[in-house]
Amino acid sequence: GQNIDQPTEMTATEGAIVQINCTYQTSGFNGLFWYQQHAGEAPTFLSYNVLDGLEEKGRFSSFLSRSKGYSYLLLKELQMKDSASYLCAVTNDYKLSFGAGTTVTVRA
Amino acid sequence: EAGVVQSPRYKIIEKKQPVAFWCNPISGHNTLYWYRQNLGQGPELLIRYENEEAVDDSQLPKDRFSAERLKGVDSTLKIQPAELGDSAVYLCASSPRTGENTEAFFGQGTRLTVV
């Protein structure tokens, strides 16, 4: 079975940094995705990790530790437009299994 | 370039009625997915197509759900008859090739409400 856990909600101030954690226990693993989803909109791709370590892409970074079944998404220099749900997803055998998502609210 | 297009955006039907959703993937994308997303949850895969072949339909409730992708391009997802528990957002996604590291591009979804 697939078990992917992330916090339900997080709140942060504009300009700050927020770290969204994701832990997973899955029957197989071929990589981990992070998607951003604004309310009522389509999920959009943020990052993909398959090897341990940190991937940096502008204000967003994603980290993976396969031995710990753990990933995090780091959002720096938060902007109001970053208010959204962030979905962690594990891929195995071409099947994406999503966590429930973390709703991030950015306050002025 | 146009993204994944879905229609309708919203649909309200009475229980026991049929309903169909349509998806036009990004041009050239061979892989097409249908997902269901319940409120406050992540998307759950219903079916995956490689061209016109359904290669993974293990999570599709086949007693009432059906899908087709006849020419390997557009796809339709049908529910007949609909139940109250089918209320959700139905997302279509496509990707350009088969690969574990290939990102999926999602449409905006069809929000279904069964009353």
pLDDT tens digit string along A11-43? 999 999 999 999 999 888 999 999 999 998 999
Each residue's pLDDT tens digit, B24-52: 999 999 999 999 999 999 999 999 999 99
pLDDT at B100 over 80: no
pLDDT attached to residue B99: 72
A57 burial (CB, 10 Å; 0-12 / 13-18 / 19+) is exposed
Average pLDDT, chain B: 94
Out of A87, A94, A101, the one facing B100 most closely (by C-beta) is A94
pLDDT attached to residue A47: 95
Residue partners of B63: CB distance under 8 A and separation at least 6: none
Beta strands in chain A (DSSP E): 3-5, 9-13, 18-25, 32-37, 44-49, 53-57, 60-65, 70-75, 84-92, 95-98, 102-107
Each residue's pLDDT tens digit, A67-101: 999 999 999 999 999 999 999 999 988 888 999 99
Distance in Å, alpha carbon of B101 to nearest chain A alpha carbon: 7
Residue B95 · residue B102 · CB < 8 Å: yes
pLDDT at B110 over 80: yes
Residues 14-53, chain B, touching A (beta carbon < 8 A): 33, 40-45, 48
Higher pLDDT, B70 or A8: A8
Residue A72 · residue A28 · CB < 8 Å: no
Select from B22, B49, B53 the least CA-distant residue to B104.
Answer: B49
Hey, is A42 helix, strand or coil? coil
Select from B50, B82, B87, B54 the least CA-distant residue to B68.
Answer: B54
Which H/E stretch holds residue B40? none
Residue partners of A15: CB distance under 8 A and separation at least 6: A77, A78
Please state whether beta strands B105-106 and B110-114 pair in parallel, antiparallel, or not at all (unpaired): unpaired
Q: Which single residue is written with the structure tokens 């998502």?
A: A101
Distance in Å, alpha carbon of B13 to nearest chain A alpha carbon: 20
Higher pLDDT, B91 or B100: B91
- The C-alpha atoms of residue B24 and residue A82 are separated, in whole angstroms, by 28
Specify which residues B81 forms β-bridges with.
none
The half-sphere exposure of A44 on its side-chain side, counting CA atoms within 13 A, is 9
Where does the pLDDT of residue B73 fall: very low under 50, low under 70, confident under 90, or very high at 90 and above? very high
N- to C-terminal Cα separation, chain B? 37
User: Distance between alpha carbon A53 and the CA centroid of its chain, in Å?
Assistant: 15
Where does the pLDDT of residue A1 fall: very low under 50, low under 70, confident under 90, or very high at 90 and above? low
Q: Do A42 and B100 touch (CB under 8 A)?
A: no
